[in-house]
Structure 1
């Protein structure tokens, strides 16, 4: 007989519908109540689930809110628009659209502010949001390499460092433009930003 120490989950399986309802209720509560007044009990009521359901899934408010934000950014996709420039523009416009939603603004600003005082929360933000979205950079580079737009990167460590830098540049620029400067990220801005990004990316690519 297999012991519980093997790491296998026991009990009833998680419900994807319940998880989605809980995360949606979390974002709604954040918009209405703000971080300080948000409680797991309020989220449970809004989601129509028992508080024990939340506590079985999330250890506390920090983890729940980060996952609620991460689910929004998981909507990002890498479009195949025929060129690296067009693909980047598509991702930038998607990202800006997600950031413009009230629930994204409130939730992201809340977790970033709380993360300045909480190292475990910062780590969860990195693993649940930042690291997950770096997949788009890696996929975009691989597609551009297959098209012949960028040279191959044989060094995995150099490729990982480049992906980190590209992600930081794109995310930092779009977040600053949308949430700090409160200026629009339209097609013209996305095109100009992409040209600037590609000029640096091509210049630093190994020959």
Structure 2
């Protein structure tokens, strides 16, 4: 898959930005972060790897943290929501794809570094929300629209604010669960877990408890 274009940046006077240079800078940032770690990562190191002047970086990004956010944001932009025929399968598919992205060293290292740094940096938290979180809510919007067209979900409520709250909640539940299991608990997100998670999300705790039982224990005939 071709790398997506870098995220848009505010318009500045002067020569237009080079998309190729931006891609090289973001790729160099991810590679350097994996190899040297957050504490040793410098703008000078990134500039050297990307083959650009350090002043080029500072014209685009005011700080290392901003650059790393944009470097990982383009990876999240690769996520897609293929039509797998039903809402349950779509949920399972995006969970598996999201977990696979988090397993990539460059994604895991960059995301955990900027999240840790953002605990004391409000502006960085806002940038993460804008560049990663808000952009990826498109997957929820696409999935809901597709499920509504199939008749699997009711239409959106008349109040757009209520729709936005629902979309936020769905995103938080799915992304929070996958990030916690993958990065915090360091547990696998496989087909079985994705299936059980989709059951919990769509049918509730009772159904999820049943689906977690071995097949041999489910739907046993009554005995007298």
Report the TM-score when normalising by structure 1. Answer: 0.90
Cα displacement (A) at 1:10: 2.8
Residue 108 of structure 2: aligned partner: 105
Residue 150 of structure 2: aligned partner: 147
Describe the superposition over 1:123-151 as per-residue Cα deviations: whole angstroms up to 9, x where unpaired.
Answer: 11111111110111111101110111000
Residue 123 of structure 1: aligned partner: 126
Moved over 3 A (4+): none
Look up the SS of the partner of 1:189 in the other structure: helix
Query: d(CA) in 1 for partners of 2:177 and 2:73?
Result: 19
Residue 178 of structure 2: aligned partner: 174
Cα displacement (A) at 1:19: 0.9
Query: d(CA) in 2 for partners of 1:79 and 1:26?
Result: 29
Cα displacement (A) at 1:8: 5.9
RMSD: 1.3
Query: d(CA) in 2 for partners of 1:179 and 1:23?
Result: 22
1:68-79 alignment runs, 5 A limit: 68-79=71-82
Cα displacement (A) at 1:69: 1.2
Query: d(CA) in 1 for partners of 2:11 and 2:129?
Result: 26
Structure 1: tracts of 5 or more residues without a match? 1-6, 201-207
Q: 1:186 aligns with which of 183, 186, 190?
A: 190
Report the TM-score when normalising by structure 2. Answer: 0.83
Cα displacement (A) at 1:11: 2.1
Mean Cα deviation higher: 125-134 or 47-56: 47-56
Is 1:93 the counterpart of 2:96? The answer is yes
Residue 59 of structure 1: aligned partner: 62
Cα displacement (A) at 1:110: 0.4
Query: d(CA) in 1 for partners of 2:64 and 2:88?
Result: 39
Describe the superposition over 1:28-84 as per-residue Cα deviations: whole angstroms up to 9, x where unpaired.
Answer: 111111112111110011111111221111111111011011111111111111111
Bigger Rg over Cα: 2
Q: 2:166 aligns with which of 162, 169, 190?
A: 162
